[in-house]
Structure 1
Amino acid sequence: MKWEGNRESDNVEDRRGDGGGGGGGFGFGGRSIGIGTIAIALVGSYFLGVSPMTIINMLSGGGGAVPVQQEQGSAQRPPASDTQARFVSTVLADTEDTWSELFRAQNAQYVKPKLVLFTGATQTACGTGQSASGPFYCPGDQKVYIDLAFFRLMEERFKVTGEFAQAYVIAHEVGHHVQHLLGIDQKVAAVRQSGNERQANAASVRLELQADCFAGVWAFHANRSRSILEKGDVEAALTAATAIGDDTLQRQSQGTVVPDSFTHGTSAQRVRWFNKGIETGQFEQCDTFNERQL
């Protein structure tokens, strides 16, 4: 992926170093937790509805408190020497440019989200954010949260490599921000509050697949404007989408697949919707909620 030399976003907040552990792992409860434990916690919480920290404490034999990073009074910028932070800042800037242009074409204004880098755990408007939950978007403060060690997890646990695959992850979370600005996530939240778990899961799948499609829309326009794609980039993103499909993760973690419990969509569905976005470049084509066949 070609990104160096492109604009970097000013909307990146660095909370790393204010909590969490070192030594190549994550620090929880005074212990250094390896990446393998994080992967188990991530998959376990994903399907069992259990806090990742509950699983981590069980696996590490502890019950200590999770160090939580408090938000600083003034946001700290990542150091210029941090290549990975520069990369995510550049990807964020690219999403800003793309979505600002697309919103402007609809006579609307795009409100840029902030991207927060953290380690271990941090306070958000949605509660305590944890590394073991993976990257996430909080509509309450309109911020994307990520522990950059997740990219190492992608390589070691899911065998997904390449900068464009990492950019896809960020673009997917920004896709949730776009949904929030359009009021789509509020409608899904209303379905979730209805108490019908099956309908709530189905709505969640459509929400996630639309975010995948929005990520593809970003890639289409970013490549057309700034020629960011190199050979193998799209394949890397598709590998990432395949690796985190509900059916693939369930098969790996429990040996069976339970479609009614899906919350993100199958591998094939995630690939299809990302492809639809990157092939058309039209976010109107990402209407997963009115599509009969996902």
Structure 2
Amino acid sequence: MEWKGRRQSSNIEDRRGTGPAGGSNPFGRGGGGFRIPMGGGGRRAGGGFSLGTIIFMVVIYFVLKAMGIDLLQVMGEGGQVGMPGFEQTETASRRSSPQEEETKAFMATVLAETEDTWNGIFQAAGSTYQEPRMVLFSGSVQSACGFASAATGPFYCPGDNKVYLDMGFFDELARKFDAAGDFAQAYVVAHEVGHHVQNLTGVLPRFNQQRRSMSEVEANQMSVRVELQADCYAGVWGHYTRQKGLLEQGDLEEALNAATQIGDDTLQKRMQGYVVPESFNHGTSEQRRRWFKRGFDSGRVDACDTFSGDI
């Protein structure tokens, strides 16, 4: 993708180095986020703690308090979302490698390109596009949807209209999922921005309300339709990016390969050796490729209706 020298979005929050390091998250993943799957096929966790966990955490808090350690103050100093006055945009204490800085610049450029595309589409429809923010983090992060670790993968939180991304995910995307390439990375960002578009148009609020009364299987089936529409929206963005002459040879294939590698059936075969279709919540590899290609070929939002008929 030809991206160097183009506008970079200012809607970037760099929180790398402000959260706990490592790939595990002792608090569990918060509910309500829409993410790129990292493996497995189960339903998203709903967040929350058991009574025993809450009691244990309260005991730990007072033990540390007695030792002169204020856990709440420590967490506040770590730059967690929701603390009064918090607005972390750069991390002065952390030195980034040249490769990381280039990846950050690429992410900011891709986000800017999605802003241009969706601003134009919304304006043509007589509406105003509210641009999302992208949060870059390392290790773990707190969003309005709860705590998340790097193992969660990139996700969009409708509670704060932000896309969350641990840039180490792209190394794993290339190494573990055989989906290398800059346009594969751009597809991931455009997919999460697609969820933001769904949030603005009311798709996500309706889904979050409806799934409270759904069975797990029904919620998974509806989730697949939501995810495939986000794939199609990513394709719509790709369509306009191609019109600008920014795509290089092989870029489309990179995106289609990434969509293939993170299909529910492909992930389940890789992780456990068999598939459980009723647990799919993102779509099969074939579905993800097809819906991305539909948006890419048409460039039309109305071509992305995954809620009518078969998918």
Q: Aligned partner of 1:10: which letter?
A: S
> Which of 70, 82, 105 is the matching residue for 1:86?
105
The answer on 1:4 being equivalent to 2:10 is no
Tell me which of 231, 256, 264 is aligned to 1:246.
Answer: 264
Which one has a bigger Cα radius of gyration?
2
Per the TM alignment, residue 27 of structure 1 is displaced from its structure 2 partner at its CA by: 5.6
Between the aligned partners of 1:48 and 1:216, the Cα distance in structure 2 is 25
Cα pair 1:104 1:110 within 8 Å, conserved: yes
Query: Cα offset for 1:223?
Result: 2.1
Contact 1:91/1:167, CA 8 A, preserved across alignment: yes
Contact 2:259 2:285 in 1 (8 A): yes
Q: Secondary structure at the match of 1:47?
A: coil
* Aligned equivalents of 1:112, 1:199: Cα separation in 2: 31
Paired with 1:128 and 1:73, the residues of 2 have a C-alpha distance of 16
Per the alignment, residue 43 of structure 1 pairs with 39
| Deviations, residues 5-56 of structure 1 (Å, cap 9, x unaligned) | 11000000000011343xxxx36589xxxxxxxxxx9425x4376699xxxx
Counterpart residue identity of residue 219, structure 1: G
- Kindly indicate whether residue 306 of structure 2 is the aligned counterpart of residue 293 of structure 1: no
CA 1:29–1:197 in 2, change beyond 3 Å: closer, same or farther?
A: closer
Per-residue CA distance 1:176-196 (angstroms, 9 max, x = gap)? 000000000112112311131
Distance across 2 between alignment mates of 1:51 and 1:125: 13
**Alignment partner of 1:221 out of 240, 243, 251:** 240
- Which amino acid is 2:247 matched to? L
The 5-angstrom pairing of residues 163-202 of structure 1 reads: 163-202=182-221
Please state how far the C-alpha of 1:104 moved relative to its aligned partner. 0.2
CA offset digits 1:229-261 (Å, max 9, x no partner) = 100000010000000001111111122211111
Is contact 2:23-2:149 (8 Å) kept? Answer: no
> How does the TM-score come out when normalised to structure 2?
0.79
Q: Unpaired segments of 5 or more residues in structure 1?
A: 31-40, 53-64
Identity across matched positions, percent: 48
> What is the aligned partner in structure 2 of residue 70 from structure 1?
80
Q: Which residue of 2 is the match for residue 14 of structure 1?
A: 14
Structure 2 residue matching 1:160: 3-state secondary structure:
coil
Q: 3-state SS of the aligned residue for 2:213?
A: coil
Specify which structure has the bigger relative contact order, considering alpha-carbon pairs within 8 angstroms and separated by 6 or more residues.
2
Count of residue pairs the alignment pairs up = 265
Q: Which residue, 277, 291, 302 being the options, matches 1:273? A: 291
Give 1:87 deviation, angstroms.
Answer: 0.4
Please report the TM-score for the alignment, with normalisation by the length of structure 1. Answer: 0.84
RMSD between aligned residues: 2.5
